[in-house]
């Protein structure tokens, strides 16, 4: 493989000039840069990442910590879209991504922090994990730049979907459609769930909607079995709800199956609404009413914030960025 010395000889310039051109220094003319880069490309020159790391004290590699409780991995529609946006943004800035090893059953595995140091990550994004895991807290407390998604830590930047407003907007829509008996099957305990559940109770109070204790149930996110069972329970009540709100669009399919198993139709007999706005929900019949989260913005903003923390640590604010979603009216909520 060609070296910078070979390129300097071919271009008739110094090695220092070649280095400056390849690293886009401003004290080299654009025409000279373009010529040197073209010669380097023709000679098959590629910079050595290890040498670059020694010089810049950066690896241009970002860690991604992603552990979905349902073990759905990158088939998780919401986080897959967030991470795709994150990946596209960091690649435009010249960074690569590596997933942090999360297999705790593997012998001699490293902790999240140890793995991050071993790989020399310039920063880490934490997208989906048990945020109360001691290993996660250890990583967050370290000196490695970190941005979290949908969870807040003290003195760490986070990009948060506006779950409080999302539930409120969704409930207001359902209320305006004439529903007063609105049940909510929420996800397993987490900061996201707590915000959504509090918003559900508060919004119902604002609207003057009574919430019987039996109208609230729990099923893990993306768990169709849990939502099937909870829907069965709700439909068996003496005064069943006219509309059921689910933890997420995917989990909603379990509730839909339970409704159909009773010989009922949506929305003629029971209305349903999801959360997330995944693609399949737009193609399902009846089209699912849902709250579409802005996954593109969430991923992009997380990437931009993390890179700024790495490249401009003295001037980048540690902050929480809130991203709003939008209600997507489908045909699964009946007008009463």
Rounded to an integer, the average pLDDT of 128-154 is: 90
Pairwise pLDDT comparison (17 vs 123), residue with the higher score: 123
In the chain, pLDDT over 90 holds for what percent of residues? 63
- Which alpha helices (DSSP H) does 146-221 contain, by range? 163-176, 191-207
Phi, then psi, of 64 in degrees rounded to 5? -125, 120
DSSP-derived secondary structure letter, 74:
G
134 contacts: CB under 8 Å, gap ≥ 6: none
Where does the chain hold its CATH 3.40.50.2300 domain(s)?
61-160+296-324, 163-293
Between 97-106, 201-210, 255-264, the lowest mean confidence (pLDDT) is in: 97-106
User: Model confidence over 22-69: pLDDT tens digits?
Assistant: 777 778 888 888 898 898 888 887 665 555 555 556 788 999 998 765
Model confidence at 154, pLDDT cuts 50, 70, 90, reads confident
Question: Is the predicted pLDDT of residue 118 greater than 60, yes or no?
Answer: yes
pTM (two decimals): 0.81
Residue 214 has a pLDDT of: 97
Q: What burial letters (b/e) apply to 262-277, b meaning 16+ CB within 10 Å?
A: eeeebbeebbbbbbbb
CATH superfamily of 163-293: Response regulator (3.40.50.2300)
**Distances 298 to 143, 195, 219, 322, 324 between C-alpha atoms, Å:** 24, 18, 25, 9, 10
C-alpha torsion 325→326→332→336, nearest 10: 120
Instruction: Give the C-alpha distances (Å, rounded to integers) separating 203 from 82, 165, 177, 182, 272.
Output: 28, 10, 15, 11, 18
Topology (CATH) of 61-160+296-324: Rossmann fold (3.40.50)
Taking only the tens place, the pLDDT of each residue in 280-327 is 877 778 899 999 999 999 999 999 999 999 999 999 999 999 999 999
Distance CA 322, CA 263 (A): 41
């Amino acid at each position: 493989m060609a070296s910078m010395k070979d390129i300097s000889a071919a271009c008739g310039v110094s090695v220092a000039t070649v280095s400056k051109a390849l690293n886009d220094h401003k004290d080299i003319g654009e025409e000279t840069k373009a010529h040197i880069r073209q010669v380097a490309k023709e000679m098959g020159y590629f910079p050595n990442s290890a040498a670059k790391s020694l010089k810049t004290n950066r690896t241009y590699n970002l860690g991604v910590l992603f552990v979905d409780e349902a073990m759905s991995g990158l088939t998780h529609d919401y986080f897959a879209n967030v991470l795709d946006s994150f990946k596209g943004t960091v690649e435009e800035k010249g960074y690569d991504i590596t997933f942090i090893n999360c297999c705790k059953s593997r012998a001699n595995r490293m902790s999240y922090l140890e793995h991050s140091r071993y790989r020399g990550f310039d920063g880490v994004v934490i997208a989906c994990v048990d945020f109360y895991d001691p290993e996660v807290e250890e990583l967050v407390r370290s000196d490695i730049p970190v941005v979290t998604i949908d969870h807040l830590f003290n003195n760490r930047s986070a990009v948060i979907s506006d779950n409080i407003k999302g539930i409120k907007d969704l409930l207001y829509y359902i209320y305006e459609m004439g529903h007063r008996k609105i049940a909510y099957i929420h996800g397993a305990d987490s900061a996201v769930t707590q915000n959504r559940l509090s918003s559900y109770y508060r919004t119902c109070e604002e609207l003057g909607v009574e919430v019987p204790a039996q109208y609230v149930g729990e099923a893990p996110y993306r768990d169709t079995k849990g939502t099937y069972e909870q829907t069965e329970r709700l439909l068996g009540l003496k005064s069943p709800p006219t509309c059921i709100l689910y933890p997420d669009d995917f989990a909603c399919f379990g509730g839909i199956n339970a409704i159909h198993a009773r010989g009922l139709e949506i929305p003629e007999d029971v209305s349903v609404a999801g959360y997330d706005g995944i693609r399949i929900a737009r193609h399902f019949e009846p089209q699912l009413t849902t709250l579409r989260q802005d996954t593109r913005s969430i991923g992009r903003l997380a990437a931009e914030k993390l890179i700024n923390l790495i490249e401009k640590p003295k001037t980048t604010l540690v902050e929480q960025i809130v991203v709003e979603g939008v209600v997507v009216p489908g045909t699964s909520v009946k007008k009463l």
